[in-house]
Amino acid sequence: MRRLTPASVVTLVAVAGAVLVVFWQLDPALLLARTTVDGGDTGAHVATAAFLRTTLLPSGHLTGWDPGWYAGFPLYTFYFPLPDLFAALGGYLIPFDISFKLATAAGSLMLPVAAWGFGRLAGMERPRPALLAVATLPFLFDQTFTIYGGNLYSTLAGEYAFSFGLALAVIFLGLTIRGMRTGRYRAIASLVLTAVVLSHIVAMAFALVGALVIYLLAGPTKRRTWWMVTTVGTAGLLSSWWGLPFSFEQSYTTNMGWQNLTTYAASLAPVADRWALGLAVVGLAFAARRLDRGALAIAILGVISGVVFVVDPQWKLYNARFLPLWWLCAYLLAGYGVAEVGVLAARWWRHRPGSDPSVVHRVAPGALSMPLIGLAGACLVVLPPVLIPYGSPGIDLGPVHVRASAVPDWVQWNYSGYQRKTGWPEYQAVIDTMKGVSRRYGCGRAMWEYSPSLNRFGTPMALMLLPYWTGGCVDSMEGLLFESSATTPYHFLNQAELSAQPSEAMVGLDYGPLDVPLGVEHLQMLGVRYFMASSSIVQAEAAADPSLRLVASTGPWRTPYQGQLLSTTWKIYLVSDSHIVAPLVNQPAVVTGVGAGQSSWLPMSERWYDDPADWGTYLTAGGPSTWQRVRPSVAPDPKPLPEVRISRVHVRTSSLSFHVSRVGVPVVVRVSYFPNWHATGAEGPWRSVPNLMVVVPTSHEVTLSYGSVPSGVAGSVLSAIGLVAVVLLIRRRRALTVLGQV
């Protein structure tokens, strides 16, 4: 066992101190309280992790069909499963509410340790690794951005997967530097990189670009090239089970149209953080002088991140996602600069005039003092804002204006949970009402009226948890993970028609005014069973609609919110003639010249969806040769179909079955289309407007099941090969150790 030296004790104190500051600010009493986390996106993410724990894992899957949002969507096909997997697995050992909270905090708690590990693996001498660890504190508490990822604000807002992946990426970069030097660590590096890939795509880009930078700085050789190929290649194989479907099925995702930031100077060099950039320049100067490849890699990665932030085109990947990478590199380089200045000062002190040159120093210069000085300095940057009352104007410390930190308030809001909000009695009553309604009228989908004041429950997304609270009986049409479903645009169009204060969250849609009758027709088209209205103006229109029947109400509830008392009565309506499987009036028409991608399918489908005159004939992406083919701009000829009766409809989590009175007549299945759906006893399914499915029964009994696609099968095979590759890497390492070659 390695002896604990004073220098290692000081390093431990510094690194542990940084972790403890984060842990303290996350309020352990709330973090470990048995309440259901809320706040921003986090308050909805809990539902997906719970579904993974209760449904996917028991069936032996990490991805699968979730019927809870958007008339169903492929869960974890386009989102990152690893952080939620830890929450789900932890939920088997400790209460799930606590396990999920710990999973959301894990990345932030790991980052100081990861930064220290990077420094150690990069071969940096003390006190540099410890200063990298404490430099993560001002990054985590940075107030210049609150949603883009990495810092505590972003994590609390729902970007905990980003934080998780970023910490793992930093460790991987350290392993890469060590691997370039020694040829070792291929197995562990490939496993860590796989974990990065399964945590967040931006963290994956950071890790892969960083590995390339490190490889080029080290100088390409045959051995280093082989290390990179085998390590990255093995990670690619291991993650293929997720990566291949993610890549090949991108056509069925939604681009929400987030507009790139163009405030480049204010984002890359805000006044409040220029001190960090100044120290980063000092760190860069020392790194260049010493030719420290680890520090130089950080600097180059920071520059690349800043450049990508500026030049990133307007597409699915929001350019603001790269801003946290710029700041992480800046803070790490600043920590390195402080360490170098401290080392110089310690050397001068040792060799100052009058000192005894015969004294032998057993530790590196600054190894005992600088970690503690650095921790104290980081705390001076981080903690004063925490101690300033939130909402106060802050204080001036010379040229630096210190404003209050909102982290304690955000933590209090999130981790106190739904159960401790003033809106909990109203929220619980709404959930209980829906439970009672579903027991009487059956399980099904619910559309709820959106309002920003729903934040009184803990987050405006609170009612996305309808399937979570009702055991999967009542599904919510609105959900998180907007990009994961091609049905998302149509939900937001419906929301505008059925809400007094719609969010209109998706950019570029042709939103109309409040129009309850049209909105109800759209609900019928999507097989929505219940409509939940909360504003008097919407309720007045709903009361006049013959397709809605009032079946329950709760209230009036007088709930405090933003200094006022909101009086709300919730009214629950049963939507008539809204079925999951329904006959068609006319034979569908196959639309030609339209691809599966949103840029092609959505304009055509949205035009059809917005015009009731077109609804008589459904447009599909494929079908039998006997169906007419039409261009998007040409109206199809109506071809009436014979009557067919549908009965014995049974809807399960990832399958549904039904009976038809006549075969050979197409019917519409009001479940979101995705290529993984397969039909037994019918031809199809084919994608239909807006994003549903059409099948042609060849038997009176039809079953649709969610299964595999070629990309998923190929990915699983490649991942199996990756596991074999990891075993071979480990066995080769052990063999070389026995032979004394390592």
Structure confidence at residue 360 as a pLDDT band (50, 70, 90): low
Structure confidence at residue 362 as a pLDDT band (50, 70, 90): confident
Structure confidence at residue 739 as a pLDDT band (50, 70, 90): very low
User: What is the DSSP code (8-state) at residue 124?
Assistant: P
Phi-psi domain of 470 (left: phi exceeds 0; alpha: psi -120 through 50; beta: other): alpha
Query: Is residue 509, in this structure, part of any structural domain at all?
Result: yes
Write down the mean pLDDT value for the chain: 94
pLDDT for residue 317? 85
Average pLDDT over residues 266-295: 94
Same structural domain for residues 503 and 642?
no
Query: Is residue 59, in this structure, part of any structural domain at all?
Result: no
Residue 560 CB neighbours (<10 A): 12
pLDDT for residue 365? 87
Number of compact structural domains in the chain:
3
Structure confidence at residue 402 as a pLDDT band (50, 70, 90): low
Query: Is residue 684, in this structure, part of any structural domain at all?
Result: yes
pLDDT for residue 346? 86
Pairing outcome for strands 701-706 and 564-575 = unpaired
Q: Is residue 57 predicted with pLDDT exceeding 60?
A: yes
Query: Is residue 741, in this structure, part of any structural domain at all?
Result: no
Query: Is residue 83, in this structure, part of any structural domain at all?
Result: no
Q: Is residue 321 predicted with pLDDT exceeding 90?
A: yes
Average pLDDT over residues 46-61: 98
Same structural domain for residues 560 and 621?
no
Same structural domain for residues 482 and 540?
yes
Domain-ending residue, one of 402, 435, 453: 402
Q: Is residue 740 predicted with pLDDT exceeding 60?
A: no
Pairing outcome for strands 646-651 and 692-697 = unpaired
The percentage of residues in the chain with a pLDDT greater than 70, rounded to a whole number, is 95
Same structural domain for residues 550 and 602?
no
Query: Is residue 43, in this structure, part of any structural domain at all?
Result: no
Average pLDDT over residues 365-375: 93
Higher pLDDT, 337 or 383: 337
Q: Please give the backbone phi and psi of residue 79, each rounded to the nearest 5 degrees, phi first.
A: -130, 175
Average pLDDT over residues 44-58: 98
pLDDT for residue 70? 97
Q: At which residue do the structure tokens 């320049």 appear?
A: 281
pLDDT for residue 397? 57
**Cβ atoms of residues 675 and 252 within 8 Å:** yes
Query: Is residue 618, in this structure, part of any structural domain at all?
Result: yes
Residue 697 CB neighbours (<10 A): 24
**Cβ atoms of residues 154 and 39 within 8 Å:** no
Same structural domain for residues 538 and 647?
no
> Could you check whether the bond before residue 467 is cis, i.e. omega within 30 degrees of 0?
no
Lateral strand order in the sheet of 677-680: 646-651, 655-660, 701-706, 677-680
Query: Is residue 658, in this structure, part of any structural domain at all?
Result: yes
Same structural domain for residues 327 and 364?
yes
**Window from 157-161, 224-228, 736-740 with minimum mean pLDDT:** 736-740
Same structural domain for residues 359 and 486?
no
Same structural domain for residues 140 and 225?
yes
Phi-psi domain of 70 (left: phi exceeds 0; alpha: psi -120 through 50; beta: other): left
pLDDT, tens only, 514-532: 999 999 999 999 999 999 9
pLDDT for residue 3? 74
Q: Which two tokens stand for residue 556?
A: 């009036």
Average pLDDT over residues 112-132: 97
pLDDT for residue 34? 97
H or E, element range at 395 = strand 395-397
pLDDT for residue 396? 58
Same structural domain for residues 277 and 325?
yes
Domain-ending residue, one of 554, 575, 596: 575
Higher pLDDT, 664 or 360: 664
Residues 6 or more apart whose CB falls under 8 angstroms from that of 719 comprise 237, 238, 239, 240, 241
Same structural domain for residues 533 and 668?
no
pLDDT for residue 339? 97
Q: Is residue 735 predicted with pLDDT exceeding 60?
A: no
DSSP 73-104: EEETTSS--HHHHHHHHHTTTS-HHHHHHHHH
Q: Is residue 401 predicted with pLDDT exceeding 80?
A: no
Structure confidence at residue 733 as a pLDDT band (50, 70, 90): low
Structure confidence at residue 741 as a pLDDT band (50, 70, 90): very low
Rounded distance, CA 422 to CA 561, Å?
8
Q: Model-level pTM?
A: 0.95
Same structural domain for residues 212 and 353?
yes
Q: Is residue 400 predicted with pLDDT exceeding 80?
A: no
Give 675-687 as a 3 state SS string: CCEEEECEEEEEE
**Window from 237-246, 378-387, 690-699 with minimum mean pLDDT:** 378-387
Residue 509, domain extent: 421-575
Rounded distance, CA 616 to CA 574, Å?
24
Same structural domain for residues 625 and 667?
yes
Q: At which residue do the structure tokens 């109400």 appear?
A: 553
H or E, element range at 654 = none
**Cβ atoms of residues 69 and 478 within 8 Å:** yes
Separate counts of helices (H) and strands (E) for the chain? 25, 20
CA Rg value for the chain: 29
Residues 6 or more apart whose CB falls under 8 angstroms from that of 557 comprise 425, 426, 429, 566, 567, 568, 569, 570
Average pLDDT over residues 362-386: 87
**C-alpha closest to that of 218 among 287, 163, 294, 145:** 294
Cross-strand pairs, 571: 533, 553
Q: Is residue 44 predicted with pLDDT exceeding 80?
A: yes
SS3 4: coil
Residues 6 or more apart whose CB falls under 8 angstroms from that of 456 comprise 421, 422, 423, 426, 559, 560, 561, 566
Structure confidence at residue 382 as a pLDDT band (50, 70, 90): confident
Higher pLDDT, 406 or 572: 572
Structure confidence at residue 2 as a pLDDT band (50, 70, 90): low
Q: Is residue 218 predicted with pLDDT exceeding 50?
A: yes
> Could you check whether the bond before residue 384 is cis, i.e. omega within 30 degrees of 0?
no
Q: Which amino acid appears at position 47 of this protein?
A: A
Cross-strand pairs, 445: 475, 528
pLDDT for residue 591? 98
Residue 563 CB neighbours (<10 A): 5
pLDDT for residue 731? 81
Q: Is residue 584 predicted with pLDDT exceeding 90?
A: yes
**Cβ atoms of residues 531 and 495 within 8 Å:** no
Average pLDDT over residues 97-126: 97
Q: Is residue 712 predicted with pLDDT exceeding 90?
A: yes
pLDDT for residue 1? 52
